Structures are given as C-alpha cells and as structure tokens.
Amino acid sequence: MKENAWTRWPSREALSREGISRSLCMLAWTVRALVLGLLLWGAFSDGHAGGWRAAAGAGGVLLAAMLAWAFFRTTLQHRLWLSLASLALLQGLAVVAHISGFKVAALVMWCGCAVSALERLPPAVALTAAGVALGSYGAVNNDDVLTAVVTGVGLALAGYTLRLDAEARGSAQRLLAQERAARAAEAETAALAERARIAREIHDVLAHSLSAQLVHLEAARLLIERGGEREQVLERVVAAREMARGGLSETRQALSALRGELTPLEDFLNQLVGSADGAEITVTGERRALPAEASQTVRRAAQEALTNVRKHARGAKVHLRLDYRPHQVTLDVRDSGGSPGELTRTGAGYGLLGMRERAELLGGSLEAGPGEEGFVVTLKVPV
C-alpha cells in the first residue's frame, strides 16, 4: 500500500546529521548559537530582569534547550506523540515566557517551533503545529497585519526550504548506501567468479595431465597382463612419467596465467603440436593478444582435443587451425580418423562437456562430432 504523502515522515537520513558538509555544520551551529544568544539576551534584558527573575529566565532557557533536544531526538526516531508533546511544551514555555515579560525569548521559541515543525514533522502535522506557533507569534506581536503575514510566510518558507534540503541530503545518503552495497555485491561476485576460474584452471590442468598418464599406465597394465615385452612396458611407464612432468609444467603455466603471465597463444599451440605425433597447425587472420580467459579457453580446448585423439584415434593425423576474426577467434581441430584402441573407455568423458561450458561462459560455443574422415572439434570464442 502506498504511503500517504501528507502523513509521511522525512527519512531518518534526512533528519540525522549524516552527510552534512563541514560548512553546513558550521552554519547550523552558528544559527543555534545565535538562537541561544537571543534567548539569553531576552531572559536578562526584558523587564529589567534581576535576581530571581534572571535565575528563572536562565532556567527557562535551559529547559527550552532540553525540550528542543528531546524534539530533535523523537523526530529522528519517528515518534509522533512524543515529538508533539515536546513541541507543545516548548510553545507552552513560550506562553509562560511572554506572560512573565520575556517577550524576545517567547518570540524566538515560537519562530523556532514553526520552522522546526515544518522541517521535521509529517506535512499534515507540521502545518498544524506551525500554524499554531505562527498564530501565537502574530497574536502577541505588535506589528501591523501585513508585516506579521510577511514574517509568517518567510518563516514558513525557511522551514520548507530546510525540509527540502534535508530530503535531498537524505536521498543522497540512501543512494550512496545503495552504491556501496552494489559495489560490495560486485566485489563479492568478482571474487566468486575468480574462485570459479581458478577452480576450472586447476581442474582442467589436472584432468588433462592425469588422463594422459592414465592412458599410458593402463597400457602398461594391459601389456603386463598379456605378457608384453619389457621394452614396451618401459616405454609406457616412461611416457607416463613424461606426462607427469608435463602436467607439473602445465600447472606452473596455469599459476602464471592466473597471475596474468601468459605465453603467446601461438607459441603454446606450437609447443603442444610439437609434442604430438602427426600434428600440424595453421594460423590465419590478424594475430593479436587475446583476453586471458579467452586465451585459456582456446588452450584447454586444444589440449583436450589432442588428448581425445590419442585416446580414441591413436596414430591419426591431426590438423589445428586457429583463425583470428574481427570479433571472435575460432579453433578447429580435425583428425584423419583411426581405429578405437583398447583404452577408449578410460577417463570420465567430461572433457568436451567442460570445454563447452567454459566456452558458453564467455558467450562462445564448442561443437564436436564426426567429420568427413575422423572427428572435428570447433571452438568459437568472442573477443
């Protein structure tokens, strides 16, 4: 249900001192000091106050200060009845001051009540309270009607101006708080995204390295079970050891990538192709540096594609084609096909799925399926 504008309180941000500039703070304290000075002057000057009258006047000023403080606190807490009680006591004190001869102090309190009510109370209540205060001020003032009306309108405009200024300041404070919350949420989201990226990097490196080692170790196990020659078994074990070393090197590269220390993509792919038998690479388009995440996606897709060739089409010829386009980079990996080996079932089968998910996170795509001769993997990443 929408709140009625006439009964809506000014926001707590508007009623508090938060967000007030140093110059405005100095101006506010100057006004308070001026009002207090007028009250004291009125207490000691009106009616040639002396003795007990001066003491009573000073006590009245102290009481007025306490009631004003109570009014400011209760309005900050949006407690209507306590706020009205404080305001009523202040106006009653002004009446007593006027009857006792402290006319200047009474006028200052009536004016202050009117301005403060318009600034800090809900509009409907503020207009009523300000009307009572300004009516009392006009009734006891000896000025002509026009002067009283002009003075009352001026005081009302002053209170309304202060209200608008406070509301604007409160809105700015709320926007600032929302901006801070948005920045905190953005920082948290960035941290979570970075954690996810680190997790993907570690998973991809370990999955590639351990999968390749598993291929060779499984081959060694099968050779041992079938009574294979010692040289063949040793060859597989040595290959697994080399894969372990390569995995350690890739882990170091991944850590360097996380620190933003990536080797050029073409150099990495050339090294990858050089370590694979029967593989070659072609680079087309205008070569340029890619964002770290896009570059890592291309690297991991190439590694996974070559690993699948070793597992499912051992001995096949492989051709990698890296194509730089204006708004995307494309990696195409094609093999010439081959008979599935005994190690086809090794691994969990999640490699290409992980690469597809990584590409989709960047707004790209990964397609994998049979080609004219063998298997084709095509990765497209926007840059």
**Over the stretch 14-60, which tens digit does the pLDDT of each residue have?**
777 776 667 766 766 676 677 666 656 655 555 444 556 667 767 77
Q: In a 3-state reduction of DSSP, which class is residue 381?
A: strand
Domain count, the chain: 2
Q: Is residue 219 part of a domain?
A: no
Tell whether the model's pLDDT for residue 263 goes beyond 80: no
pLDDT per residue over 124-175, tens digit each? 888 888 888 888 877 777 666 777 778 778 878 887 887 887 788 788 888 8
Distance of CA 102 to the CA centre of its chain: 57
Between CA 313 and CA 338 the distance in angstroms is 4
Q: Is residue 86 part of a domain?
A: yes
**DSSP secondary structure code for residue 213 in this structure:** H
Q: Is residue 200 part of a domain?
A: no
Between CA 126 and CA 117 the distance in angstroms is 5
Q: CA angle, 129 as apex, 128 and 130 as ends, to 5°? A: 90
Q: In a 3-state reduction of DSSP, which class is residue 344?
A: coil
Q: Is residue 313 part of a domain?
A: yes
Of 84, 107, 142, the residue at which a domain comes to its end is 142
Q: Is residue 41 part of a domain?
A: yes
Q: Any idea what the CATH number is for the domain that residue 298 is in?
A: 3.30.565.10
Q: Is residue 364 part of a domain?
A: yes
Q: Is residue 319 part of a domain?
A: yes
Can you give the residue range of the structural domain that contains 22?
Answer: 12-142
Tell whether the model's pLDDT for residue 345 goes beyond 70: no
> Looking at the whole model, is its pTM more than 0.75?
no
Q: Which of 322, 253, 330 has its CA nearest to residue 292?
A: 253
Helix (H) or strand (E) holding 67: helix 52-76
